[in-house]
Amino acid sequence: MADYEELLKEFSETSRERLRAARSFRRELGAHSSVPAISIFGYGLKTIQSIWVERNSQGGWQKVEFSMEPKGDGTIPEYSTILKGSEIHPVQQYHESLYIDNEVKMRLKLELTRA
pLDDT digits (tens, 9 = 90+) for 28-61: 877 777 788 899 999 999 999 998 888 889 888 8
Extents of the domains making up the chain: 1-30, 32-113
What pLDDT band is residue 10 in, cutting at 50, 70 and 90?
low
CB 96 within 8 A of CB 44: no
1 has a pLDDT exceeding 70:
no
| Burial of 47 (C-beta count, 10 Å sphere; 0-12/13-18/19+) | buried
Among the ranges given (12-26, 56-70, 73-87), the one the predictor scored with the smallest mean pLDDT: 12-26
pLDDT for position 51: 87
The tens digit of pLDDT for each residue in 75-103 reads 999 988 988 889 999 999 999 999 999 99
What is the pLDDT, as a whole number, of residue 40?
Answer: 95
CA distance 67 to 89: 25
What pLDDT, on a 0 to 100 scale, did the predictor assign at position 7? 53
How many CB atoms lie under 10 A from the CB of residue 94? 15
Neighbours of 40 (CB within 10 A): 21
Euclidean distance between CA atoms 85 and 92, whole angstroms: 22
